[in-house]
Chains A and B, each alone.
Chain A
């Protein structure tokens, strides 16, 4: 039995395919359409899912959409009405979108996919929670979901037992920690919905001097974990901005102009909001504990992408085990929707999780890649034993584009569409930021670390460190061994790699370890600024050609070095200009 989950129209569209209780493939639309954070109907992703599974749309038994459209529409009209007469900009922007597509999602699905079966609708936060819980492999857990806003809910506490998820409490729009963080993102000159992680990366460089001001004016926190935003300072309910004049007057400086020189004032602002967020969420986690009395917590929703916050949750020790779903944003909800079709609607029992919730994208076999390379007449070498060769090249300071079988699902590249480099050289961070990724110099890089060696180098707690969702404090030896991946505050957003999870990635790091004594590599996503992570061999070739990546490796077998021949390719594969994110 096949169930298709769809997430579309708000942030990142995606599609996920479930077969008899197991997610077999999930893809984000942005990877295929090559538009970062693409939110259009995920037609390409759906077709690719079907193709990967080898089925057609006629084989799909159920389609589940990740939220309740009417409920959301009602919230928007409610908000608009509440803010009359100031909400006209909001109204005139939202209504056309709703009248044209969003209300007619069922008609759209049926028409675009030529689908004739049943369509179901799960609620937004339920989809988030389901994606995380059913992927976690836990049998019972408390679930904390925090995001910008779903239909009405912005924060939900749920409890999961067996195949059943029950929502216990929720907080509603406009009181939202996600939107609060986004407001500061905008204030500090980054793009809302995509610049939040830059704000997080900036935080360790500053001092939280505005913390008290935020508590005094912007947010009231209650002892039971709930909170209330002071809407006088925010504009997102009426207008098209997150913040208003009062917000600017409160802090005394106008919003930072995007791409302008970074003023220490905004760095302190980033540090302040990060601390406030951490304190408020820890309160929520405590409340979740006292309400559910569970030992496990699953944390998801867009706010869960804040890996520094996740570190605080892990270190607090409030729960015995924690699980951070690797795709907690709206893209991951397609997985949740599909799961809800199976466990919620069909009431099926849970099946043990057998594979990682990350490596579930589409793949290209070596035969197909060779055929494409032959067509382009590029010289390459094929070898069974590339990992040893690549490890040597890495140790010699070369930068590797690593393209390996199934694409990752979620915002992080976890060793299948990655750029790898030597973490022992401190200058590697600047080289990667400036020459390869073409992005801001303050942004840190994350290491991929051998699971067996990680305990000696990092403070680890019971959580899933395999998906770069949590930062860990580096032990003294780590900074000397791998200075390029330790951030300003002495932490690293590590990804533990094991043979079972990613055999080729493991082999490579292992080979590098044997050679150099350093059990880690720099792992950053295979893309440049503003570009979605590469999906196909051609995307990889393009990024390889127009950046300073030295060697490109496909499926740990096929190797391409940059030379005069690859330069000629520039006539065939043209660069694409991506808007800065």
Chain B
């Protein structure tokens, strides 16, 4: 897919309120996990980080409530995660292609004899699976 299509398709995406709600919920869960892990060993009274919690809650609620803000944040997230995802995916493709497929290719070619030129190109050794229930 050309890069312009990638960005266009993300920014043209329709984001529903429920999506924004879920997104905020996920962030909230992450925030809770973060604080739990940070303050798990020492007991800190709630008042100590009250303002941080309130700021986070403020942002989360505003994601849901304010149309533009929520859309913007979500689309930014989609762009960044999409790019990272694409990088990982193509990385994987390159790894599979060059590290797994290529050595196999050389091994297979070592063991297969080159087909000799003949006076016909009909193939009689057909693989036809008469079992209609089989996908191959």
Contacts and interface: CB of A to CB of B under 8 A. Distances in A.
Direct contact of A and B (CB under 8 A): yes
B93 A95 contact: yes
Contacts of A225: 122
A167 B122 CA distance: 12
B29 interface: no
A69 B105 contact: no
B35 interface: no
B102 A92 contact: no
Interface in A129-174: 152, 167, 169-172
Interface string B105-136: 10010000000000111111011110011111
Contact of A226 (B98, B108, B120): B120
Nearest to A337: B132
Interface stretch (A118-126, A183-191, A266-274, A436-444): A118-126
Contacts of A341: 132
Contacts of B135: 68-70, 105-106, 121
A152 B129 CA distance: 13
B90 interface: yes
A10 interface: no
A84 B126 contact: no
Dominant SS among interface residues on chain A: mixed
B132 A80 contact: no
A36 interface: no
Contacts of A172: 123
Contacts of B134: 68, 121
B108 A171 contact: no
Contacts of A70: 135-136
Contacts of B94: 88
Given A84-B101, A85-B98, A171 B128 contact: no
A81 B122 contact: no
B132 A169 contact: no
Nearest to B129: A68
A249 to B, nearest CB: 24
B59 interface: no
A64 B101 contact: no
Nearest to B106: A84
B123 A169 contact: yes
A170 B136 contact: no
A195 to B, nearest CB: 23
Given A64-B132, A121-B132, A340-B132, A222 B119 contact: yes
Point out which of A68, A69, A74 has the most chain B C-beta atoms below 10 A from its C-beta.
A68
Contacts of B122: 169-171, 224-226
B53 interface: no
A167 to B, nearest CB: 6
B31 interface: no
A167 B120 contact: no
Interface string A260-284: 0000000000000000000000000
B66 interface: no
A220 to B, nearest CB: 8
Given A80-B101, A170-B126, A69 B90 contact: no
Contacts of B133: 118, 120-121
B136 A222 contact: no
Contacts of A84: 97, 101-102, 105
A568 B94 CA distance: 58
B104 interface: yes
Contact of A74 (B89, B120, B123, B136): B136
A215 to B, nearest CB: 15
Given A74-B136, A81-B104, A91 B123 contact: no
Given A71-B136, A118-B133, A167 B119 contact: no
A233 interface: no
A571 to B, nearest CB: 27
A91 B93 contact: yes
A345 interface: yes
Interface in A93-124: 95-96, 105-106, 118, 120-123
Interface string A73-93: 010000011101100100110
Nearest to A227: B121
B98 A222 contact: no
Contacts of A92: 90, 93, 97
A425 interface: no
Contacts of A121: 132-135
Contacts of A105: 135
Point out which of B104, B105, B108 has the most chain A C-beta atoms below 10 A from its C-beta.
B105
A340 B104 CA distance: 38
Contacts of A106: 135
A223 interface: yes
A226 B121 contact: yes
Nearest to B90: A92
Interface of B: 89-90, 93-94, 97-98, 101-102, 104-105, 108, 119-124, 126-129, 132-136
12 contacts: A68-B136, A70-B135, A71-B127, A81-B101, A92-B97, A120-B132, A126-B128, A170-B123, A222-B119, A224-B119, A224-B120, A225-B122
Given A84-B105, A171-B121, A222-B121, 19 more contacts: A68-B136, A71-B127, A71-B136, A82-B105, A84-B97, A84-B102, A91-B93, A91-B97, A91-B101, A121-B134, A121-B135, A123-B129, A167-B128, A169-B123, A170-B126, A171-B123, A222-B120, A224-B122, A226-B121
Interface of A: 64, 68-71, 74, 80-82, 84-85, 88, 91-92, 95-96, 105-106, 118, 120-123, 126, 152, 167, 169-172, 175, 222-228, 340-341, 344-345
Q: 4 shortest A-B CB distances, which residue pairs?
A: A70-B136, A226-B121, A120-B132, A345-B132
